[in-house]
Amino acid sequence: MSAPSRTPNRRGRNKQIATPILPPIGPGMTGGHYQPLTPVEIERIHELVLQLLADLGLSQVTPSLQARAVDAGCEVDGDGRLRFPRALVEDVIAKTRRKFTLHGIDPAHDIEIGGQRVHTGTGGAAPTILDFHSGKYRESTVADLFDIARLVDKMDNIHWYHRSVVARDTKTILDLDINTTYACLSGTTKSIAVSYTDSASVKAVMPMLDAVAGGEGKFRERPFCTAVCCHVVPPMRFATESCEALEAAVEAGMPILLVAAGQAGATAPAALAGAVAQACAEVLAGLILCNIIDPNCRGIFATWPFVSDLRTGAMSGGSGEQALLSAACAQMAAFYDLPNSVPAGMTDSKLPDMQAGGEKGYTVSLAAHAGASMIHESAGMHGSLMGTSFESYVLDNDLLGAILRTVKGVDVSEDSVNFDVIRDVVMGEGHYLGHPQTFARMKTDYLYPNIADRRSVSEWEDAGGRDARDVARDQVSQILTEHYPSHIPEAVDLQLRDNFNIILPRARMFAGNGDW
Domains of the chain: 94-408 (3.20.20.480)
Residue 4 is predicted with a pLDDT of: 42
Question: With pLDDT > 70 as the criterion, what percentage of the chain qualifies?
Answer: 96
Neighbours of 23 (CB within 10 A): 10
Average pLDDT for residues 272-285, to the nearest whole number? 98
Model pLDDT, residue 15: 43
164 vs 443, higher pLDDT? 164
pLDDT band of residue 14 (cuts 50, 70, 90) is very low
Sign of CA dihedral 287, 293, 296, 298: negative
The set of residues, in sequence order, having a beta carbon less than 8 Å from that of 49 and lying 6+ positions away, is 277, 280, 281, 284
Mean pLDDT on 49-61? 98
At residue 3, the pLDDT reads: 42
Q: What's the average model confidence in pLDDT over 79-96?
A: 97
pLDDT for 372: 98
pLDDT of residue 56: 98
Residues in the chain, total: 516
- pLDDT exceeds cutoff 70 at 13: no
**CA–centroid distance for 174 within its chain:** 25
Q: With a cut of 80, say whether residue 25 has pLDDT above it.
A: yes
CB 231 within 8 A of CB 258: yes
Nearest residue to 372 via CA among 401, 332, 321, 316:
332
DSSP 8-state secondary structure symbol assigned to residue 53: I
Beta bridge partners of 162: 193
* Band of residue 514 on the pLDDT scale cut at 50, 70, 90: confident
Note the pLDDT of residue 16. 44
The C-alpha torsion from 190 through 367 and 54 to 230, rounded to 10°, is -40
Question: For strand 75-76 and strand 82-83, is the pairing parallel, antiparallel, or unpaired?
Answer: antiparallel
Angle in degrees, 0-180, between the axes of helices 39-51 and 320-336, rounded to the nearest 10: 80
Would you call 306 helix, strand, or coil by DSSP? strand
User: What is the reported pLDDT for 17?
Assistant: 44
d(CA 4, CA 418): 23
* Residues 138/131, Cβ–Cβ less than 8 Å: yes
pLDDT at position 137 over 50? yes
Sign (positive or negative) of CA dihedral 270, 271, 274, 276: positive
Rg of the chain's alpha carbons, rounded to an integer?
24
d(CA 210, CA 220): 8
State the sign of the Cα–Cα–Cα–Cα dihedral 379, 398, 361, 408.
positive
pLDDT at site 5: 40
| Residue 9 confidence (pLDDT) | 42
Is the CB of residue 380 less than 8 Å from the CB of residue 388?
yes
Average pLDDT over residues 337-353: 98
- pLDDT, residue 21, reads 78
Range in 111-120, 165-174, 345-354, 507-516 with the lowest mean pLDDT: 507-516
What is the number of alpha carbons within 13 Å of residue 215 lying toward its C-beta?
0
Mean of all residue pLDDT scores within the chain? 95
Q: Which pLDDT score, from 0 to 100, does residue 516 have? A: 86
Contact 199, 245 (CB under 8 A): yes
19/220: higher pLDDT: 220
CA atoms within 13 A on the CB side of 496: 30
Separation of alpha carbons 336 and 359, rounded Å: 28
- Give which of 23, 36, 11, 24 is closest to 321, Cα–Cα: 36
Residue 22: band (very low, low, confident or very high) from pLDDT cuts 50, 70, 90: confident
Span 70-75, average pLDDT: 98
11 pLDDT higher than 60: no
Q: Give the mean pLDDT of 221-247.
A: 98
Dihedrals φ, ψ of 201, to 5°?
-65, -45
Give the pLDDT of residue 19.
54
Q: Are 164 and 195 in contact (CB under 8 A)?
A: no
pLDDT tens-digit map of 183-202 = 999 999 999 999 999 999 99
Burial class (CB in 10 A: 0-12, 13-18, 19+), 112: middle
> Residues 292-339: pLDDT tens digits?
999 999 999 999 999 999 999 999 999 999 999 999 999 999 999 999
* DSSP annotation of 59: B
Q: How does residue 376 score in pLDDT terms, banded at 50, 70 and 90?
A: very high
CA-CA distance, 32 to 107, in Å (whole number)? 27
Compute CA distances 1 → 4, 5, 133, 277, 418, whole Å: 9, 12, 61, 72, 30
Neighbours of 110 (CB within 10 A): 15
- What is the model's pLDDT at position 269? 97
